[in-house]
Amino acid sequence: MSERATGSRELGDGLAPPAAPAEAGTPAAPAGEGPTSLPDVPEALLAGYLDAALAALRATPAAELPGALRQYQSWTPRRLRHPRVLGLVRRSLDTDAGFRAAVDRRVLEEEEALARLVRSGRHADALASGEAPEAVARVAVALGREGEAAVHAAVEAAVADQARAQAARAESALAEAESELDSARARAESEAAAARAAREDARATRDELRRADRQVQALTERAEALEQQLARARAAVQSARAEAAAEQRRLNGRLAELQARLAESQRQYRALRRSANRVDPVVAEAVGMLERDLAALQRATGVTEDTPVASLVPPTSLSPSARRGVPPSRPPRREPLPVPGGRNADDPETLAAWMAAPGVLVLVDGYNVTKHERGFPDRSLEDQRTLLVDLCRRLARRWGPQVTVVFDGAEIAPLPTKVRLEGVGVVFTDAGRIADDEIVARVNAEPPERPVVVVSSDNELRERAAALGASVTRSPALLGLSSR
C-alpha cells in the first residue's frame, strides 16, 4: 500500500475513501436522478468546495435556493461558517441537484485550467507541479464521477504532505531535544564541576576550621596560663607592697627617732650657745663633738636650718680666744644673686645679668641643656658637646664669667677628666658618678662669698643647688642667649 493511501485513512479519521473512479468515457448520472453524495474525504480537502457552496448561497437568487438555505442568504460569510449552517449546506448539496450543479459550475469556472487537467486525467501532473491537494480535490468534487480518481490522488497527496510535515516536526523536535540534551549535559557537567569545587572548598574550610579550633584551644590555654601568671604577679605585688609598707613604717620610725635626736641636739646646742661665754676648753671640745654629730644627723634626715650647724668651724680650729671661752664665729652663708625687677629666674636676661656679676661661677648641666627640645637633641653626642661648649665660650667672652660644663662621662672614658677650652671648663664625671653630684660638690666647695649659678632643668638638682645658696635657672635661659 502506498504512502498516500495509508495516510488517507489517518486524514479521513477512519472513514472509507470514495469509490473507485469510473472508467474513462463513463457518462454522468442520467438526468432526473439525484446528485451523487459528497465524497467521504477529510474536512480540510472538502473545505474549498464548501467555501464555493457558501459563495453560491449568497450569489444565487433566493427562488433558486433550497428552501432550508433561503433564510441564510443574507448572513455574513463568517456567520455562514456556523456548524449548523454548514451541515444544512452539505445536506442540500447531497439532495438538491440544482444547487449542486450551481456550485459545480462556479468551481469549474473559477478553476478552468485545473479542471481541464483533471478531466484529461493529468491530476498527478497538477499535484506534481505544486497545486495544493485542497484545490485539486475541490475541482475533482465539482467534476463528480470524472474527478473521483483526482479525489483519491488529492487525499493521498494530503496524507503525504501531512506525513512529511509530521516528520519535519518530529525532526525539529528531535533536534530541539538533542539540543536540550546537549545543554542539559553541559549544565550537568558544569554543575558537577561546581559540586566538586564546592566539595573542595568545603574540605578546605573544614580543615581551616579545625586549625582555627586548635589555635583557639592553644590561645585559651595560653590565656589561662597568663591569668595564672597574673594572679601570681598580683600576689607578689601585694606581698611586695606589704613589705614596702612595713619597711616604710620602720624607716618612718627611724626617721622620727633621728628627728627627735636632732631636735634634742639642737636644743642642747642652743643652750650651749647661750652659755658659750662661760665655756672652758673641755666644754668647747664637747660642743665640737656635738656639732659633728648634729651635722651627721642633718645629712641623714635631710633637715636643715637657716644656719646649719655642720657649717660651723669645729672646735679644733677655734682661735686661742675661742678656746679661752670666746663663742665661735659663724661663717657667712652663700646668698643667691638678685633677680632683676620685672623678670624671673628662668629669663635669659636674668642669666645675662648674673653672668655679668663679679667673680661669678656658672656650672652647666651639659646633657640636660643639649637634650632639651630647644637644644640639639637630634645631633650626635659629640656634636651636642661641641655646640654647647662653643656657645658657653662666646658667652664667657662677652660677659666674663667662669663657665664650667659638666657631662656624664661614663661612656667617654678615654677622654681626660677635665679639659679647658679658652676660658670654659669641661668636666667629664667618673664612672659611677653623675653630673648632678659633681655640680653639687663644686657648689659646696666654692667659698660662701662667691656667687654660683647652676643651669639645669633637673628639679632635684635645682633644689639641691638652691639649698646651698646657688642661683638656679633652667636650660632654655642659656639656650635663649645663643642668638644674642
The Cβ of residue 437 has, within 10 Å, a number of other Cβ atoms equal to 14
What is the b/e burial string over 473-483, where b = at least 16 CB atoms within 10 angstroms of the residue's CB?
A: bbbbbbbbbee
- The 3-state DSSP composition of the chain as helix, strand, coil percent (nearest 5) reads 65, 5, 30
| DSSP character string of 17-56 | PPPPPPPTTPPPPPTTSPPPPPP---HHHHHHHHHHHHHH
Q: What is the mean pLDDT of residues 431-436?
A: 90
The pLDDT value given to residue 117: 78
Does residue 252 register a pLDDT over 80?
no
Residue-wise pLDDT for 459-476, tens only, equals: 999 999 999 999 999 999
Give CA–CA dist 182/49, Å, rounded: 48
Residue-wise pLDDT for 359-402, tens only, equals: 999 999 999 999 999 999 999 999 999 999 999 999 999 999 99
Class of domain 348-479: alpha beta
Give CA–CA dist 155/261, Å, rounded: 149
Angle between helices 3-11 and 148-274 (to 10 degrees): 70
Percent of the chain with pLDDT over 90: 28
What is the b/e burial string over 390-399, where b = at least 16 CB atoms within 10 angstroms of the residue's CB?
A: ebbbebbeeb
Q: What is the mean pLDDT of residues 109-125?
A: 80
Give CA–CA dist 63/261, Å, rounded: 165
Amino acid at 10: E
Residue 446 near residue 452, CB atoms below 8 Å: yes
3-state secondary structure of 455: strand
Q: What is the mean pLDDT of residues 392-420?
A: 78
The pLDDT value given to residue 269: 56
Vertex 294: Cα angle to 293 and 295 (nearest 5):
90
H-helix or E-strand containing 398?
Answer: helix 381-399
Give CA–CA dist 264/255, Å, rounded: 14
Would you list the domain boundaries of the chain? 3-164, 275-323, 348-479
The pLDDT value given to residue 110: 82
Which cell goes with 49? 468546495
Least confident among 95-99, 351-355, 450-454? 95-99
Does residue 42 register a pLDDT over 60?
yes
**The whole model's pTM is what?**
0.36
Which cell goes with 451? 656667687
What pLDDT band is residue 133 in, cutting at 50, 70 and 90? Answer: confident
The Cβ of residue 51 has, within 10 Å, a number of other Cβ atoms equal to 16
Does residue 444 register a pLDDT over 90?
yes
Residue 362 near residue 404, CB atoms below 8 Å: yes
HEC profile of 122-183: CHHHHHHCCCCHHHHHHHHHHHHHHHHHHHHHHHHHHHHHHHHHHHHHHHHHHHHHHHHHHH
Residue 450 near residue 332, CB atoms below 8 Å: no
CB neighbour list of residue 429: distance below 8 Å, 6 or more residues apart: 406, 407, 408, 409, 410, 435, 437, 438
CB neighbour list of residue 423: distance below 8 Å, 6 or more residues apart: 393, 396, 397, 402, 403
Residue 348 near residue 367, CB atoms below 8 Å: no
Give CA–CA dist 291/297, Å, rounded: 10
Does residue 162 register a pLDDT over 70?
yes
Give CA–CA dist 295/303, Å, rounded: 10
Give CA–CA dist 167/157, Å, rounded: 15
